[in-house]
Amino acid sequence: MVQFYSPNRRSVNRGIISVTADNLDAQGQGIARHQGKTIFIAGLLPGEQAQIQLTEEKRQFAKAKVVKRLSDSPHRVTPRCPHFKVCGGCQQQHVAAELQVKTKASVLEHLIQRETGINISAHPIIRSPEYGYRRRARLGLQYHARQRTLLMGFRQSQSNDLVNIKHCPVMRPELEQLLQPLYQCLNSLHAVKRLGHVELVLADSEPLIVLRHLDPLKHEDKETLRIFSVQYNAAIYLLGEEKALEPLMEGQTVPWYQVNGLKLVFSPQDFIQVNDVVNQQMVEQALAWLDLQPTDRVLDLFCGMGNFTLPIATQVQATVGVEGVAELVASGQYNARLNKLNNVDFFHENLESDIHQQPWAAQGFNKVLLDPARAGAAGVMAHIVKLTPEKVVYVSCNPTTLARDSKVLLEAGYHLVSVRMLDMFPHTGHLESMALFSSEPMEIE
């Protein structure tokens, strides 16, 4: 008889354990130790004692839920959002802001030290308002047939179900105050059963609403939306079957935002930084770190629509931005002309392919900025080294790939001069940062 090998499955101890958390991770989970194993516990803060139950157990660590909290940390605060603990958008509204940023900075410092051997402080932190910071949000739309009503909101934690959002204090107030009237408007449409999602964006010009609809909208529905647009001074864009964006009404103001004194026009579908306050500080810090001079030639990789490129261009001889999304490149080129910057070139190129044959790669640059996606910039690091720039500023939304890519520069003789933690998304586990590298030794900040 043939016998098949079946590995022993690790059973989870469902008994109640008493622990005291001694630390916090970047996701806002309490960290405790029990019988030599690290346990991550959602909702528990350092110093708090609790009775917990394991939900997942691995060889090196386990995850658990709180059955009963036996003490409260002075860092525990009352969440401002009524949907907290149900909505998956925020995980840390119960944690005082100071502990949130201190923990994220410590995680960043530890990761860099572990991967590079360099002890460096991620302070001073570039701070955000604790609430009212998010100028962009996408909400799912689902028609609930049994209740004959629309659900509009964010996904529940660890679920595809929607939380019907009526308040969202992390949104800019101008957007949050649109939530309830917008819900009533959409729920009244004939096409209510065939809506996909709605996106709210706060431009400096006015609020924008992008509505994804799966079937063509009838005249009555467009008129309902037009009345809402006028009443609430919000420009509405329709995203239909062909996913081609159309303004609801002719003559709508083209959306724009300002950065470093420049006016940047954008499409509602273009990527812009969600946190405007942190973005302004981040751009200012990057320009200061680059120590821009009139003779500089600066390369901006993963440049988007020129959020860094165009402010840099105001201070240097020449700037080149390289981006993989054609629509963002077109926006960057338009904004260069709008701001009368004639020393900027944008290239639409795939920075994950063979970059050595790309037209920008043959040019010389003495300073480089890069702002890659979560996957990092592995494909361009060797070329950056080949350019031998004096300074490199790396803006990161993933500390793991920042640490990995940093090693390429360090092995080439560059010095890690400074690191900043960016408080881009308060109350969440997202950890954004930026780092300065120099070809010459500099005093570490």
pLDDT of residue 13: 64
pLDDT of residue 444: 54
How many whole angstroms from its chain centre is CA 59?
32
Q: Is there a binding annotation on residue 371?
A: yes
Positions of the chain with pLDDT under 70: 1-13, 443-445
Q: Are 10 and 57 in contact (CB under 8 A)?
A: yes
| Residue 47: CB atoms within 10 Å | 16
Q: Which residues are catalytic?
A: 397
Q: Is there a binding annotation on residue 53?
A: no
Q: What are 268-291's pLDDT values in tens digits?
A: 999 999 999 999 999 999 999 999
Q: Is there a binding annotation on residue 302?
A: yes
pLDDT of residue 11: 55
Q: Is there a binding annotation on residue 87?
A: yes
Bridge partners (DSSP) of residue 192 are: none
Amino acid, res. 40:
F
pLDDT of residue 26: 84
Q: Residues 6 or more apart from 185 whose CB is under 8 A from it? A: 224, 225, 228
Confirm whether pTM is higher than 0.75. yes
pLDDT of residue 1: 44
pLDDT of residue 321: 98
pLDDT of residue 242: 76
Q: Are 84 and 66 in contact (CB under 8 A)?
A: no
Q: Is there a binding annotation on residue 185?
A: no
State the pairing for strand pair 235-239/207-213. Answer: parallel
Q: Is there a binding annotation on residue 303?
A: no
Q: Which residue has the tokens 């101890």?
A: 13
Q: Is there a binding annotation on residue 119?
A: no
pLDDT of residue 158: 76
Bridge partners (DSSP) of residue 69 are: 50
Closest to 92 measured CA to CA, from 428, 439, 433: 428
| Residue 56: CB atoms within 10 Å | 11
Round to whole Å and give the CA distance between 360 and 408.
21
